[in-house]
């Protein structure tokens, strides 16, 4: 048996237990003292909905915890540097447990053998003090870093930093430039976004040699909104966690209407208005990748959720060969060109919001964004500028 204690800030909330005698099952249950505390901080909405449930899965940790872990190349890299097999999720959670997203920490119990069955690193033995020990959900190659007067540095002793650094992608041209432009355009359009800046690779220190040569162009630094300037952590959870689904279901387990219903119920109409304005910007900016993991709640006081700042804003339609439909359905529409004011009226009716008010929010955001667009268009490579011109001309909003 192996066990990992789960803490939220400094509060013990429960234990993840792996039992090989039960068919390689991992289970999680809330601690009685935490569950019975009426003023407890919120770990996740799925646990609030059913605090007495025992969450049991085979071969993996339960989906809420699995969604704390990175995907793709980043998972492989961090697993390799931690000396853990990337498919052993409980082991990986324990290895990265000091700097998971939000305010969760995962602490392995002594003597439980959570370093067993590691993946042998391809680049020689791992020095435990030099392991990358942070987890940033998502597939893009990115690192959690600290910033000082000399630039950005990858922390090497167990904890990540307060900035996310996203590296150039060899598959697509100037992804960091695209995202930086979209973040700045969103901010000018009235959307809440984190602080961000493009940085040159020579200003980044401590990147692992195993990532190889970087693709040309600048990287993007984005301030982590779960690591405030005053210190400590702000808890967050994404909508795959809120919906209780696996990362693999992030494109199909809900609609934008479903997300809006949750936000309205948990955060109120002001939060729903922010969400509608972000949907309007998503459509205008040609972002076909706003799946469940790219929307999050944050808990500044530990208990009451708010819509987290917008993140992962990329104009995906500016890249040839990328997905054309929306990541999720919007009141039945799955294509950008199918969305019009009537789509948002249906959306409003499904949520119980005033349709005229929702359409006004959309029109205001789109007008502000279109007016601001000429200030940002030239920042994109020429091919992306042309693709965005085509996209904007096809919209019915």
| Active-site annotation, residues | 289
What is the C-alpha separation between 359 and 345, in angstroms, rounded?
7
The helix (H) or strand (E) run that includes residue 259 is helix 256-267
At a CB cut-off of 8 Å and minimum separation 6, what does 18 contact?
Answer: 1, 2, 3, 24, 25, 26, 90
What are the distances in angstroms from CA 328 to CA 137, 289, 295, 391? 19, 9, 12, 18
| DSSP per-residue string spanning 64-114 | HHHTTS--HHHHHHHHHHHT--TT-HHHHHHHTGGG-STTEEEEEPTTS-T
Tell me which DSSP letter residue 23 carries. Answer: T
What are the distances in angstroms from CA 85 to CA 79, 159, 329? 6, 20, 35
- The token pair that represents 209 in the structure block: 């040699």
Q: What share of the chain is helix, strand, coil (3-state, %, to 5)?
A: 40, 15, 45
What is the C-alpha separation between 317 and 40, in angstroms, rounded?
43
Q: Are 74 and 142 in contact (CB under 8 A)?
A: yes
Q: What is the dihedral of CA 115, 19, 34, 97, to 10 degrees?
A: 20
Beta pairing partners, 29: 15
């Amino acid at each position: 048996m192996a066990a990992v204690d789960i803490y939220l800030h400094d509060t013990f909330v429960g234990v993840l237990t792996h039992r090989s005698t039960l068919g390689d099952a991992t289970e999680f249950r809330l601690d009685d003292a935490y569950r019975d505390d009426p003023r407890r901080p919120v770990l996740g909405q799925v646990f609030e909905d059913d605090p007495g449930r025992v969450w049991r899965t085979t071969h993996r940790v339960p989906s809420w915890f699995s969604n704390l872990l990175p995907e793709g190349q980043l998972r492989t890299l961090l697993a390799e540097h931690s000396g853990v097999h990337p498919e052993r999720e409980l082991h990986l959670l324990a290895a990265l447990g000091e700097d998971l997203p939000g305010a969760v920490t995962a602490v392995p119990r002594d003597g439980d053998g959570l370093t067993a069955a590691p993946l042998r690193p391809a680049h020689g033995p791992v020095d435990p003090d030099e392991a990358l020990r942070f987890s940033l959900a998502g597939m893009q190659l990115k690192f959690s870093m600290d910033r000082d007067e000399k630039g950005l540095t990858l922390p090497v002793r167990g904890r990540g930093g307060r900035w996310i650094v996203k590296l150039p992608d060899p598959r697509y041209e100037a992804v960091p430039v695209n995202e930086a432009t979209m973040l700045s355009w969103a901010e000018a359009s009235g959307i809440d976004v984190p602080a961000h800046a493009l940085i040159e690779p020579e200003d980044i220190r401590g990147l692992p040699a195993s990532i190889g040569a970087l693709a040309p162009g600048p990287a993007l630094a984005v301030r982590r909104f779960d690591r405030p300037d005053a210190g400590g952590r702000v808890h967050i959870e994404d909508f795959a966690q809120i919906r209780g689904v696996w990362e693999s279901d992030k494109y199909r387990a809900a609609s934008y209407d479903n997300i809006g219903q949750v936000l309205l119920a948990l955060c109120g109409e002001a939060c729903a208005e922010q969400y509608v304005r972000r949907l309007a910007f998503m459509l205008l900016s040609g972002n076909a990748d706003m799946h469940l993991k790219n929307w999050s709640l944050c808990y500044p006081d530990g208990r009451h959720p708010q819509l987290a700042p917008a993140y992962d804003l990329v104009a995906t339609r500016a890249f040839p060969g990328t997905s054309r439909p929306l990541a999720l359905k919007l009141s039945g529409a799955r294509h950008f060109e199918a969305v019009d004011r009537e789509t948002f009226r249906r959306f409003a009716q499904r949520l119980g919001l005033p349709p005229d008010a929702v359409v006004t929010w959309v029109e205001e955001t789109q007008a502000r964004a279109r007016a601001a667009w000429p200030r940002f268009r030239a920042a994109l490579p020429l091919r992306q500028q042309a693709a965005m011109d085509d996209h904007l001309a096809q919209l019915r909003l």
